[in-house]
Structure formats: C-alpha cells, structure tokens
Structure 1
Amino acid sequence: MITSVGLLKQRRFLPLFVTQFLGAFNDNLFKNAMVFFATYEIYKSVEAETQFSAIATGLFILPFFLFSALAGQLADSYDKARIMRIIKMAEVLIMLVGATGIFIGNLPLMLVALVGMGIHSTFFGPIKYAIIPQHMAPDEVLGGTGLVEAGTYIAILGGTIAGGLLDPHVAAVAVVAVAGIGWFSSTHIPTAPPVTKLKLDWNIFRSSYRLIAATLHIKRLYLAIIAISVFWTIAAVLAVLFPPLVKNVFHAQKDVASVFLGIFSVGIAIGSVIINRLLKGKVSARYAPLSVLAMAIFVFDFYLSARGWSGTPENLATTREFLSMPGTWRVLLDLIMIAITGGMFVVPLYAFLTTTVDKSQTSRTVAANNIVNSAFMVFGSVGILGVTEVGVSVSDAILVVLLLCVISALCGWRLYQAEKAHEMDSTVSLD
C-alpha cells in the first residue's frame, strides 16, 4: 500500500487531484466573489442578503438534482478520463460568460455562469470519486478519497479567500485562467475505460427515479447516502448564513466572512486526514456517530458566541480588528472544530459508496448520492431562508444546524450497526 501522501507522486492520481483541486477553487472563487459583491455592494438589508445567498446556493445545487442520473450513466459507459477533458473544456467557456458578467457588473449573467458551473460540477462529481477505485488498490481507496476531500476543501479555502479579496476584474481574469489550467491538467489523467456499456436514458426524471430506486434498496448505501445528505444540508445552511451572520451579528467586513468559510474548509481537510489515520485505510463508519456528536457540541458553543456577541453596528470591523475583539478566538476554535469533526464524519461515507458496489456501478452510485444530496441541500437552503423570513434571527437559525447534527449522529450509528451486521453475515457465510 502506498501512503496517502505517496499517492500524490503517482501519475494515476496526481493529475486527477490537481484537476479537481482547480475546479473546486474556481467554483468558490467565482461564487464567493459574486455573493460578496451582492452582499456588500448592492443589498442593504439582512433579509435581501440572506435571500440572495440562498438563491445563489440553490441555483448552484439544482443541476445536481436534475442531471446527476445522466452524469452517472455517461461516466459508467465511456472513458472517464475523456469525459473529464470535455467537462473541463466546458468550464473554460462557462467562465468566459462569468467573467463577462463580472466585468459589466451584471448579476443575472453571473447567475447564468453559476448555473453552468453547477452543471459542470454535476458531471464531474461522479467521475472524480468513481475513478479512484479504478486506479487505486483496495487499501488505497480511503486514502485517495481522503486526499480528494482534503484537496477540495483546501481549494475551497483558496477560492473563498480570493473571492473576498481580489478586485472583481482580477477575479474575472483569474477564473478563465484557472479553468484553462484545469483543462490542461485533465489531459494527463490516465485512461479509465468503462467496465460496462449502458443504453442511456435521456429522460432525466425517469432515469433519476430509477437510479435512486436501484441504489437505495441496499441498506448500507441508503444509510450512507442519507448521512452524507444531512451533512451537506448542514454545510449548505452554514454557507447561506455566514455572509449575513458576519455582517449583521459579528459586524465585520466581507474579508471576515472569507475567513469563516476558509477556516471551515481547512478544518474539513484536516478531518479528512485524521480519519484516514485513525481507520488505517479501512472503510468503516466506526467513528461517525462520535464525530458528529462532537460537532454538535461545537455548533452549540458557536451559537452561544453569536448570541452573546457585542460590536459596533455602524462600523464594520476589518479582519485585524475582528481578531482583536474579546471572544474571537472562541468563535474561530468552534468553527475549525465543527469542520474537523465534520470531515471525520463524511469522508469514510464517500469511500462506502465506491467500495460497496461493483466498479461498473460506482459512477451511478455516486450520482444517486448526488441527487439525494442536492435535494436535501436545496431543501436546507430554502428552509433556512423560510426560517429567517418568519422572524427568526440569523444567530438563532444556527440551532437548525444543531438539530441536523443529532439526525446525522443517528444515521451514522445505524450505518455502523448495519456495517457490523454485514461483517458478521460475511463471517458466517465463510464458515
């Protein structure tokens, strides 16, 4: 077995890692530049800011719900590396549209590009996980999955910070350049020919229903997908809340919102590495319930910090001023621990998806997961918007995340029990 870090030296993994890293970076550079522009330059009320943040999140997620089934069929039917190159070339074109929107300050055009990036990620997502067991040894799958997750969140950190700090015109040039480099990197991904050949069902609603029905009847897959979906609902809710929370509760400028999102990204990356070390390459949900219960504790403490925060609403604090305020380090510690425990929870579950089924079905399994994830995330984004619309404060809305953590813990526990039952049945059958 090659160590996780050792995989970064392998041609069967490094180009994939770089390609997905740049894609995640670009998604967040563009999305956050747009959201922060709207929050700090256009809208002047917490309701409008929360609404736009929720709309942007929902529009990005919607393609996952609509097109994941088709994406999974294509990925299982054709060479995955070739599809990746086509997808990355499309990203270049999408970012040209987005860059134009940034240059002329046209929010509708930016939203069109955001939907395009959602479609891009919809078709890329099933492949980046499904190609891992095709190129990795069985005891390298968890390490490879963990590196992809860690790399994704480090990229989110970079994109988030850049989106908040770069001049809009510089960001416009950057998103096109990064897309071009991502396409070049994709040309070096080794071939990954299909294990099967499917007759494609182009009816996205029928194919989505059939895919979900064919996947969720397997108990361990069902529990893993539900647990992942609840986790990403938590992430979606936090993504919606962070910009208005930072501005209206912590009374800070948009660069502090970038710090919040960045810390969250780094924390998940750290959690991805920690859980791989703890499990020593074994795909297991052993630590899932404990991880997400610990996450709930830090979410509650973050809520208490937000409720008790005092600041000057008239003058939004810079990052330096925010860091000098009493209680800031408690807030940041809560954030990074929420993310670390979240990473420890979710990474093994993705490895479950790619190792529980035959390699000919991995892309469709990940696609089914993405459909359910997106439905949960859209529900979470719209739901948190509804919660704030009926008069619940942005800080009190954090309690929704606490409830979701408890649900995640229950799902993780049931998955671990199903895992142990499966192992026991396998032992009995061998005897």
Structure 2
Amino acid sequence: MSEQSQFRLLGQRRFLPFYLTQFSGAFNDNLFKNALLLLITFQAGGLMGLSVNLVVNLAAFLFILPFFLFSGIAGQLADRYEKARIIRVVKVAEIAIMVAAAVGLWLGWYEWLLLVLFLMGVQSTFFGPVKYAILPRVLHDDELVGGNGLVAMGTFIAILLGTIVAGVIMAGPVSAPVTAVAVMLVAILGYLAARRVPDIGDEAAELEVRLRPLQETWHLMRVAAERRRVLWAVLAISWFWFLGAAYLTQFPNFAKTWLAGDETVVTLLLALFIVGISLGSTLCEHLTRHRVTLKPVPWGALGLTLFGVDLYFAVPDSPAATTWLVMLTDPAYLRVVADLVGIGTSGGLFIVPLYAFIQHETPDHKRARIIAALNVINALFMVFSALAGMVLLGIAGVGIPGFFLILSLVNLGVWLFVMALRRRAAGSVDK
C-alpha cells in the first residue's frame, strides 16, 4: 500500500493528461455557460419574444436535456470502445462546438448560442461516463480514493474559475469576441492534453451499441439496479447534487437579500463552498488510509446537517451593506463563512468515497454504463432541487435561510441511509 500523497499522481502520465483534460472541459463549460447567461441578462434582453427569466431557465434546460436523451448511448460507447480514444473524439467535438460558439458570440446570434449550449450538453453527456470509468483502469485500488479526490477538487475549482473569468470578461468593452477566442483556445488546449492520455486497451467487442436514446437511458436504470449497494451509493451521490444545486442556485439572492451583499459576495460564497469541497475531497485519502471505504461518508452527511442548521442561526438579523472583504473580516459574518466552508468540506467527505466505492464495486464491462446512470439520476435530482426551491420559496413563502434549514433537517434521513449503506458495504471494502 502506498503511503505517498495523492498529489504525486499529478506528475505521472497515466493521470496528469486526463486530469488536465477534465479540468479544461469543466472550465470551458462554465466559462461559456456563464458568459451566455450574462449576455442574455444584460445585453441581449429577451430572445424570441420571451422574457429574460424564461430564456435563462430555457438555457439551463437545454444543457441538462442531453443527459436524459443520450446517456444510455454514451455509457454503451464508453464500455464498448477504448476509453482514451473516446476522450480524444469528445475533445475534437468540443473544438468544433466552440468554433460554432465563437461564430455566434462574434456575430451576436444569441438563438444560435442556445443551440450551441445544447451541443455542449451532448458533449458533456458523452464525456461523463468515460471520466469516472477510466480511473479504476489507470489507478491502483490504494490510489482510487486519492485520484477521485483530485478529480473532484479539480472539477469544482474549474467551475469556480470559469464563473469568475466569465464575469471578468463580460465586464470588459469587447466581451463577446474575447469570450469567443477564450473558449476556442481552452478547447484546443484540452484536446492537446487528451492526446497524451495513454491507451488502456479495454475494448469490449461483444457489446452491441444500440442507438435508441430514450430506451437505452431507461435500460441504464436496470443495469445500475443489478447491485443494490451500488444503486444506494448512486442515490446518495445524487442527493448531494440535489443539495449542492439548491445552495448554488440560491447564493445570488441569499447574498443580496439576507447578507446585504454586492456581486463580490456572491462570488465569495461560491468560492467558500468550493474551497470546502476541495479540502474535504483531498482529506479523504488520509482519512481512509488509501483504502476504498465508506467510513468518512456518514461523517460527511452529519456535517452537512450540522453546518447547514448552524447557517440558519448564523445569518445576521439586520445586516449592513456587505462586500467580500467585510464578510471575511467582520465577526458578524465569520460564522457564515465557517459554515459554508464546513458544508463544502462535508460534501467532499461525502461524495469522494462514494465515487470510489462505485468504481470499485462495478465490473469493468459495465462500469461506464453505471456511471452514465449516475449522471442521469444526478440530472433528475437537480431538476427536483429546482422544483423544491420553486415550491418552498415561491409558493410556501419560506425564506432562503429556512430553505437551507429544511434541507439540512431532511439530510438527517440521508445520514441514516448512508449509515446503513456503510454497514452493508463493510464486508466488501473495509478491510
């Protein structure tokens, strides 16, 4: 068993090119999505006779729709063909999509950019199963938790950086052309990294790829349900995405209404959440002692509840006008800062061992399809998260702190759920 740090993987070809490939993809997705949303909100106005709010929600729907349509096919392809080759094909497709995005950005074809956003969702759908299915083929069992921790950290940092860079670019005088050049450049760099991903020779010639989008997506659910413990782990991860989507969606209004903050406070809240996730993700290898084990997961679930409940009580009763610097220096807000970092850290402890467990417990020839099923269920839970926000915040009139409190209390049930999963899984992975 290796006792070295997981960060040594960043110096090895079997991991680093893949890591840079997935990092660039996550960065580019968020750079383009956030730039487009800012364009629609502040420059384009309503499109096709629709309100800005409706177009923004339409954009979110178009990006997530491909996960429901094409995940079944994506999982089959990733199990059938050599995974490094699929990664390179997907990155070539990203370059083509970003060229189309650049044309739309340069010429101001905003309706065209919505189509591009859908194509980006398709590209992400086909990359997702490969992203996690390849790790057990290039990492040893005692590296699996650490490798997943690095991937989780990199993904969330890329999300943060893509969001920040989009905001910086869109504040400039020639925002659309600069965005066009940036997304093409990042796509090309991602492809160059993908060319260095080594082949692992894992083709499964006996697997038939059936081009039936909805039928194959439904079939994924049956594949995932073949192993009950794996399905439970999938549902647990999807709950985290439900919870994470709820927090991230409400951060802008939470910062403005409940913290009296400006735009910098929204960015700070996102940064605190992601710093926490990165910290929790990288701690997992040390806490698990390089083993595939679910021991940190109940602690992560408990932290999500405790820090979430405390956040409700930490919100100031009468906040004064706030900036990011005030948030970090005024004692009245430091508890909010600590709670958000704690929620993120708990989330990292929660999801990283679950991803490693799923990879460890699934056979090579079905792993990508199970990851594809996970992506579908994640997308479904994020839709449910949006609906829960609409019902509780819009119809029931619950405030955002109260909404966070309700989610934290519901999470107690998830804590009991993962405690049971931890006991059931102890015989197979906790050795």
Q: Is TM (by shorter chain) over 0.5?
A: yes
Post-superposition shift, 1:256?
Answer: 2.5
Q: What is aligned with 2:421?
A: 415
SS of residue in 2 equivalent to 1:347: helix
Contact 2:82 2:203 in 1 (8 A): no
Post-superposition shift, 1:319?
Answer: 3.2
| Residues 400 and 184 of structure 1, relative CA distance in 2, 3 Å threshold | farther
Post-superposition shift, 1:416?
Answer: 0.3
* Alignment match of 2:355 (pick from 350, 368, 383): 350
SS of residue in 2 equivalent to 1:396: helix
Q: What is aligned with 1:21?
A: 23
Post-superposition shift, 1:321?
Answer: 5.2
Q: Deviations over 1:69-102 (max 9, x none)?
A: 1111001111111111111121122223334444
Superposed, 1:24-423 pairs within 5 Å as 24-36=26-38, 55-103=58-106, 107-167=110-170, 168-169=175-176, 170-197=178-205, 198-306=207-315, 308-312=317-321, 317-320=322-325, 323=328, 325=330, 327-390=332-395, 391-422=397-428
Post-superposition shift, 1:396?
Answer: 3.0
Aligned counterparts of 2:162 and 2:363: Cα–Cα separation in 1:
35
366-375 vs 169-178, greater mean Cα deviation: 169-178
Aligned counterparts of 1:88 and 1:38: Cα–Cα separation in 2:
27
SS of residue in 1 equivalent to 2:365: helix
Aligned counterparts of 1:184 and 1:293: Cα–Cα separation in 2:
42
| Residues 333 and 102 of structure 1, relative CA distance in 2, 3 Å threshold | farther
Q: Deviations over 1:167-197 (max 9, x none)?
A: 3333332122111110111011001333423
| Residues 302 and 366 of structure 1, relative CA distance in 2, 3 Å threshold | same
SS of residue in 2 equivalent to 1:145: helix
| Residues 49 and 232 of structure 1, relative CA distance in 2, 3 Å threshold | farther
Q: Are residues 1:12 and 2:18 paired? A: no
Aligned counterparts of 2:138 and 2:124: Cα–Cα separation in 1:
21
Gaps of 5+ in 1: none
Post-superposition shift, 1:218?
Answer: 1.1
| Residues 285 and 51 of structure 1, relative CA distance in 2, 3 Å threshold | farther
- Count of matched residue pairs: 418
Aligned counterparts of 2:331 and 2:42: Cα–Cα separation in 1:
25
Q: Deviations over 1:98-133 (max 9, x none)?
A: 344444556544433332222211111111111111
Post-superposition shift, 1:53?
Answer: 6.0
SS of residue in 2 equivalent to 1:283: coil
Report sequence identity in percent: 37
SS of residue in 2 equivalent to 1:327: helix
Opposite residue 234 of structure 1, the aligned amino acid is L
Contact 1:307 1:395 in 2 (8 A): no
Opposite residue 237 of structure 1, the aligned amino acid is A
Contact 2:91 2:190 in 1 (8 A): yes
Please give the TM-score of this superposition, normalised by the length of structure 2: 0.88
| Residues 63 and 174 of structure 1, relative CA distance in 2, 3 Å threshold | same
| Residues 413 and 258 of structure 1, relative CA distance in 2, 3 Å threshold | same
Q: Deviations over 1:230-274 (max 9, x none)?
A: 001111112211122223333333332222222222211111111
Opposite residue 23 of structure 2, the aligned amino acid is F
Opposite residue 354 of structure 1, the aligned amino acid is Q
Aligned counterparts of 2:370 and 2:240: Cα–Cα separation in 1:
18
Aligned counterparts of 2:158 and 2:422: Cα–Cα separation in 1:
30
| Residues 385 and 175 of structure 1, relative CA distance in 2, 3 Å threshold | farther
Post-superposition shift, 1:211?
Answer: 1.9
| Residues 250 and 110 of structure 1, relative CA distance in 2, 3 Å threshold | farther
Post-superposition shift, 1:37?
Answer: 5.0
Contact 1:234 1:404 in 2 (8 A): no
Post-superposition shift, 1:16?
Answer: 0.2
| Residues 255 and 29 of structure 1, relative CA distance in 2, 3 Å threshold | farther
SS of residue in 2 equivalent to 1:359: coil
